[in-house]
Structure 1
């Protein structure tokens, strides 16, 4: 039997946070309980006791990642004073493009992909839930007439597609300047304006 603690839930929370930090660095695809346990100062028996099995731990880690995702999205949810779809998308992209968020975004992307190819595993439903979460927040950023109009769902779906596709490109290349310029151009089109971003070192003189 693993060692008992006076407050098992507190112990579980502590180890989950440690395991989450480990997953942000090492990912989840090749997660193995023994090296994880050694890295976070625990044992496989304790992890099995607290999370049931490896799948249970993965589910807990995915839920922990979703907590971070929802905290991010809560910043942009202003249903009482909607900021508008395009301004919200610009704010979201600024957050997505920040270097310090790459580990978390790689973990989200990994979980998203695994949930598509392993729909019955511990990843089940992660991709669909993520899409629903993002669309819900983007809807809250739209003024009500747009949100409830025939074209509202199409516009927020397109916005999400732009952000997600650009994120995959950014994670693959780390070319933040190129990808951000493309995002701004596409959002300008979505907003009904063709605003071309000129690079700081570009000389517009013929």
Structure 2
């Protein structure tokens, strides 16, 4: 018989937010419970109790990061009474993705995305696929007249530009490349 997890306690939610803030600056690749617990004012034992395991904590952190992305998608969709079109939505997404204050979140996303590709059975499982589906759904609702191939190409271009931006910090060049791609299509 399947069990359902109760709603998180206030303490669990508080520690998750602190752990999420920590992971945005320290990453998840070499996450160790002891330094994390110390940094967020807890103990490894409490984290294990609340999240079940280190993998459970990682899954909760990934879900928390994904919630930020899903909120962006929800807010973007709500700004329009009618589908705005692929070029408009791609420019909005790029502005959001490329904002300096989102670099930690985007670095977190890249790390989680990559880990889900190389460790598909662990806590990262299905993260990459889920984010692709989420973003393609937004692009579809924003530009239903476009083909799936065109929406996929725009998504790939945005993600490639994001990787380049994160690697180089060159916002001007990557933004020019995004704009060039969007105006030539």
| Pair 1:57-2:78 in alignment | no
SS at 2:101 equivalent: helix
CA distance in 2, matches of 1:89, 1:8: 35
Aligned length, in residue pairs:
178
CA distance in 1, matches of 2:160, 2:71: 22
TM norm structure 1: 0.84
**Residue matched to 1:200:** none
- 1:1-206 aligned within 5 A: 9-78=9-78, 80-142=81-143, 144=144, 146-147=145-146, 152-190=147-185
Mind listing any 5+ residue stretches in structure 2 that lack a counterpart? Answer: 1-6
TM norm structure 2: 0.93
CA distance in 2, matches of 1:80, 1:109: 32
SS at 1:76 equivalent: helix
Structure 1 ranges of 4+ moved more than 4 A: none
CA distance in 2, matches of 1:184, 1:80: 24
SS at 1:75 equivalent: helix
CA distance in 1, matches of 2:129, 2:8: 32
- Whether the 8 Å contact between 1:76 and 1:141 is mirrored in structure 2 is no
SS at 2:31 equivalent: coil
Using the TM superposition, give the Cα deviation of residue 76 of structure 1 relative to its aligned residue in structure 2, in angstroms. 2.0
User: C-alpha deviations, 1:79-134, integer Å up to 9, x for none?
Assistant: 74111111110011011111110000000000000000000010000000000000
**Inter-CA distance 8–169: structure 2 relative to 1 (3 Å threshold):** closer
Q: Which has the larger radius of gyration?
A: 1
Could you say what the CA RMSD is over the residues aligned between the two structures, in angstroms?
Answer: 1.4
Using the TM superposition, give the Cα deviation of residue 75 of structure 1 relative to its aligned residue in structure 2, in angstroms. 2.2
SS at 1:158 equivalent: helix
User: C-alpha deviations, 1:12-46, integer Å up to 9, x for none?
Assistant: 00100000000001000010000000000000110
User: C-alpha deviations, 1:27-76, integer Å up to 9, x for none?
Assistant: 00010000000000000110000001100000000000000000111122
